């Protein structure tokens, strides 16, 4: 790329909301429908420009977002509000760009982030809910919220979370800081919200599954602490399904 071409590039930050049910995750893949791939395709349709969109995190297939953040380099001089309106006009119904801003060239959606907030939703009722089926995990058995909250408090702070990650997670550093881990309930809807500096692969789903197993009486606090201290994933709780998870916010 020539020096003149580099000078006209703009760095845009996008905030994106999506229902992940019918996407094979965030990351672009050649043969499947993904959020990043869909955005790149529609930007090319709108502006005739090929872009490489980079997200703050690679949400898995079925995971939703209210506040995913991404950045991209753009040559077009289209005003940001015109870009926002035009792109949303042609995007499919299950994804929308809710904000666009021109930012410093040094901004990187992933590496500039200082934390993330995720929510995991459980539909805790003996009868399933068609209304909430795409965005919550149906747990029929009553849950002990006090026991779950006690376990959540024990997991707060700086710990080595190697016992709460997917078996194929390749991160060498598995120490993370959970700043906030809260559980609320309204009727049959139980929301688990966790804020941390960063997360390991499937960490939030494993944390949610572990708390659900505590609430169902399958695990006790001592067992959870042994997993935390020993790092043995096989002795911990289940991995909650993807469709109950939402990326709420990225912190910068």
Query: Which spans in 10-77 are helix H?
Result: 35-47
Say whether 43 sits in a helix, a strand or coil: helix
Calpha distance 195→248 (Å, rounded) = 10
Calpha distance 145→133 (Å, rounded) = 22
Q: Is 96 exposed, middle or buried (0-12, 13-18, 19+ CB in 10 A)?
A: middle
Calpha distance 161→194 (Å, rounded) = 14
Calpha distance 222→89 (Å, rounded) = 52
> Strands 157-160 and 189-196, how do they pair?
unpaired
Calpha distance 238→122 (Å, rounded) = 14
Known active-site residue 160: no
Query: Smallest Cα–Cα separation from 42: which of 101, 100, 98, 84?
Result: 84
Query: How many helices (H) and strands (E) are present in the chain, helices listed first?
Result: 6, 10
Say whether 136 sits in a helix, a strand or coil: coil
* Active-site option among 22, 52, 60, 160: 60
Backbone phi and psi for residue 153, each to the nearest 5 degrees, phi listed first: -65, -35
Question: Which positions are annotated as active-site residues?
Answer: 60
């Amino acid at each position: 790329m020539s020096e003149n071409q580099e000078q006209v590039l703009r760095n845009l930050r996008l905030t994106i909301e999506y229902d992940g049910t019918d996407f094979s995750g965030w990351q672009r893949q050649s043969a499947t429908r993904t959020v990043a791939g869909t955005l790149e395709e529609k930007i090319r349709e709108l502006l005739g420009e090929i872009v490489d969109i980079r997200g703050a995190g690679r949400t898995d297939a079925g995971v939703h977002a209210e506040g995913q953040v991404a950045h991209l380099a753009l040559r077009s001089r289209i005003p940001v509000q015109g870009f926002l309106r035009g792109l949303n006009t042609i995007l499919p119904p299950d994804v929308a760009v809710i904000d666009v801003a021109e930012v410093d060239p040094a901004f990187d959606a992933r590496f500039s982030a200082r934390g993330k907030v995720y929510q995991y939703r459980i539909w805790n009722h003996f009868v399933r809910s068609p209304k909430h089926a795409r965005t919550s995990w149906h747990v029929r058995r009553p849950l002990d919220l006090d026991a779950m909250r006690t376990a959540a408090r024990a997991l707060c702070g700086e710990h080595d979370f190697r016992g709460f990650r997917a078996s194929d997670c390749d991160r060498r550093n598995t120490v993370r800081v959970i700043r906030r881990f809260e559980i609320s309930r309204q009727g049959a809807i139980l929301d688990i919200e966790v804020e941390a500096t960063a997360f390991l692969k499937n960490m939030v789903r494993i944390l949610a599954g572990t708390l659900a197993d505590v609430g169902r009486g399958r695990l006790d606090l001592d067992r959870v602490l042994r997993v935390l201290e020993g790092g043995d994933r096989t002795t911990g709780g289940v991995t909650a399904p993807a469709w109950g998870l939402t990326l709420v916010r990225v912190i910068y």
